[in-house]
Amino acid sequence: MTAEELYAKFAAQFPKVQKASVEVKGSPAYATLRLNSPAELEPVIEWLKGLGFTYLDIVTATDYKGPIDVKGFVMDPNPNAFLPEGATPQIEAPTATPNYPYREAFELEYCLTYLEEKIKVFLKLDVPRDGGKVPSLVKHFPAADWQERETLDLYGIGFEGHPNPTKILTPDFIKGYPLRKDYVHTPDQFD
């Protein structure tokens, strides 16, 4: 199966699911699709699993709010402070790129693999930044368990039906969701 054939099958089965405008580069055997709502996620996943995509690669998210806020770091993250005097600066402070379509949303990414056919499919799904919720995939793929917890911990996206929606990486006293672009670090007892 090639990516084109997969797109055709998708068009027949789910006419609403479109090919994403920004494709994931990497290999001709990567297909990228954009889902319109969280309700579509489970039927698509079930259908893909039936087709042979039995291996869940990644579950993650991206915050498209804009350039990163440097207040999310304990110190100024600019490494130029370590350069000797008079050296050329290595990197500037993060700035917004003109004309890049930043938007107020998280984008969830799922990647599934068809082991025998050597093809990967990337699913994208926008969720609102405040109180966004998506169905959990744990009952379809146990592999989603920790990856969803990680996304919850670092982005604060809720996964409905997750058996254990708790923090996994950061300690309890870290408030907020560190990977959000507007995360502001509150100094704690160790800073």
Rounded least distance, CB 159 to another protein, Å: 15
Instruction: Give me the half-sphere count of Cα atoms (radius 13 Å) on the Cβ side of residue 173.
Output: 6
5 touches another protein by CB under 8 A = no
Backbone φ, ψ for residue 7 (5° rounding)? -60, -40
185 touches another protein by CB under 8 A = yes
> Which of 154, 156, 159, 162 forms a contact with another protein (CB under 8 A)?
154
The answer for residues whose C-beta is within 8 angstroms of residue 91's C-beta and 6 or more apart is: 78, 79, 80
Give the burial class of 136: count Cβ atoms within 10 A of its Cβ; 0-12 exposed, 13-18 middle, 19 or more buried.
buried
Contact footprint for another protein (CB under 8 A): 22-27, 29-30, 54-58, 60, 62-63, 67-68, 70, 72-79, 90-92, 94-95, 97, 100, 102, 109, 111, 115, 118, 120, 122, 141-143, 145-147, 150, 154, 167-171, 173-174, 178-179, 183, 185, 188, 190-191
